[in-house]
Structure 1
């Protein structure tokens, strides 16, 4: 009988350095690469690894995450048996940076009791990578490990853990006696009764934890060698499908080394930038080294360099906005930038 995996995604993490982009959404729902959300990567990796039951544990600002995931149809997780499960945390003041909170899991024990999968993979929601978990499961079994912590090739923890589901249940049930509050407590304990193993993953991996990190990771997607490591034909990254028309490019437009999603109208110049769905860029506007999120409107003769526009931002004609690669200029969702205010 084939060993089966249960997928558990901890979506409670909040990084203060990303505050400007997390006012209206959770970190898991942060847009990335034009048409994706960050959670799409770990969720797609689980589905591509044959996982058919995935539980997502969010804490706050999860409406946009629920809207994005829906029934799980786009990931083939809208099933009569197993499928996609959503368990918001009843605990408001727990530490949101501890992956795999046992208190959060304990509030939803029925999910674990009813699972038929022998093993569980517990993962964070904010890592950009493309990984098949099945080789790790085989390695874990052959090495006779109790818990395997997945590491970067440089030795840093990826905050992902492979464990028998029965042992996970035991850790949750005995949390008050042992003092373990999360998976990290278990693997870093000086003394415990478990065999802790480390698996080194050599593929491209970035954990999004700051504006600078988010911006630089996004810009690197414009390099073909990075893109090919993340978007693999045999292991596709799935996302919510939206039926929109192709992007329209006028005769006045100029687009170089850019990712442009569908539904846009481009009348100006776009260079080294990522443009999401439904964006309008006016005639004479110049967009360089920018991340432009969904449904933004940039009017005529604007100049933007090293800028992140969150969703539904309007930039008035003639406005100039300039940031740097280390400190990109960030405009929050739904706001308006005027030429007099920002020139």
Structure 2
């Protein structure tokens, strides 16, 4: 039972325009040492999927620098492994797709040359731990044409796709809903189907001039096909806005969330061989995640600190996310902040956002 993995690296770029100005959504840093794509790739590898195609669109230099040959995920292989699928343009298009279906149309040649029985498709902005082998097995036993993974929770953004299922787990409706308080079955943008079926759906969409995978293909085939829902239980983080990016990083300060996300299954990432973090005599650290290669001489509370960050003497950082190689001078005060990579904050600066509106400093800025 061989499966092919497909990861969409740019589908929801418009949700985080600040963070994707100089990178793709897949390469956004998360959790102190990871990139968002690490979770998608690790789930694939841990589920026995050893051939993964990553569909790109633009700004993917940092993504290619991060994943490289795929060796850090054991995907540097002669047969299969990691395949980057850049935009493909022809006389009818420039290759810059605007939807999931258009992205799939651009890789029909790649899909046609694969020999795997099943395809697992996922977005890269879903941070979770899931065993795709279990999903494929459910798909096979339930005799589904398509299986959609969902989670139970409250829609945290407008236009969330909500799934209705019957007593047997068959999907009876797919609809967009606005942000609400009630618990729903929220589609996790993870699909499982046979590769041959995916190819047929793409060909049908070309003949019918369809553009949207969910509304044009899934909704229109709810009765004609057996589309099943598979519930994901456990921690799930959807990165849909700057606010949710901040909150999901803060989630990792809770031990229960860390255990559900990492547990006994490894999350692989690019190895950098940094030195251990150095804590000065005046350092105070409380309830924080701090990666290696840092120098902490001030106070850090309730924060996520990435590799190579320097916090000088007298500085206080609270409720913040500091990305790689951020440097804080002496007597700096920060609260509810997000700093991108290579930010420098000079001595005696006071910067503050709020939990409902964290303040963001762009990459390479000097304050």
Q: TM-score range by the shorter chain?
A: over 0.9
State the TM-score, normalizing by the size of structure 1: 0.93
State the TM-score, normalizing by the size of structure 2: 0.87
Q: Is contact 1:290-1:304 (8 Å) kept?
A: yes
Cα distance in 2 for residues equivalent to 1:152 and 1:54: 24
Relative to structure 1, is the Cα distance of residues 17 and 134 closer, same or farther in structure 2, using a 3 angstrom cutoff?
closer
Alignment of 1:105-116 (within 5 A): 105-116=104-115
2:205 equivalent to 1:175:
yes
Corresponding residue number in structure 1 for 2:246 = 215
Corresponding residue number in structure 2 for 1:189 = 220
SS of equivalent to 1:225:
helix
How many residues align structurally?
330
2:121 equivalent to 1:122:
yes
Residue 17 of structure 1 and its aligned partner are, at CA, apart by: 4.3
Relative to structure 1, is the Cα distance of residues 191 and 242 closer, same or farther in structure 2, using a 3 angstrom cutoff?
closer
Cα distance in 2 for residues equivalent to 1:133 and 1:300: 48
Residue 197 of structure 1 and its aligned partner are, at CA, apart by: 1.2
Residue 193 of structure 1 and its aligned partner are, at CA, apart by: 3.0
Corresponding residue number in structure 1 for 2:300 = 270
2:94 equivalent to 1:94:
no
Residue 189 of structure 1 and its aligned partner are, at CA, apart by: 1.7
SS of equivalent to 2:129:
coil
Cα distance in 1 for residues equivalent to 2:209 and 2:109: 22
More divergent stretch after superposition (201-210 vs 126-135)? 201-210
Relative to structure 1, is the Cα distance of residues 191 and 158 closer, same or farther in structure 2, using a 3 angstrom cutoff?
closer
Cα distance in 2 for residues equivalent to 1:80 and 1:134: 23
Q: 1:253 aligns with which of 269, 283, 288?
A: 283
Render the CA deviation track for 1:286-315: whole Å, top value 9, x for unaligned: 000010000111000000000000000000
Corresponding residue number in structure 2 for 1:19 = 17
Q: Is contact 1:255-1:271 (8 Å) kept?
A: yes
Alignment of 1:1-343 (within 5 A): 3-90=1-88, 91=94, 93-95=96-98, 98=99, 100-101=100-101, 103-153=102-152, 154-184=184-214, 185-189=216-220, 193-233=224-264, 235-337=265-367
SS of equivalent to 1:156:
strand
Cα distance in 2 for residues equivalent to 1:266 and 1:275: 10
Residue 18 of structure 1 and its aligned partner are, at CA, apart by: 1.7
SS of equivalent to 2:202:
helix
Residue 188 of structure 1 and its aligned partner are, at CA, apart by: 1.7
Cα distance in 1 for residues equivalent to 2:123 and 2:68: 20
Q: Is contact 1:15-1:209 (8 Å) kept?
A: no
Residue 183 of structure 1 and its aligned partner are, at CA, apart by: 3.4
Please, which runs of 5 or more residues in structure 2 have no aligned partner? 89-93, 153-183
Residue 270 of structure 1 and its aligned partner are, at CA, apart by: 0.5
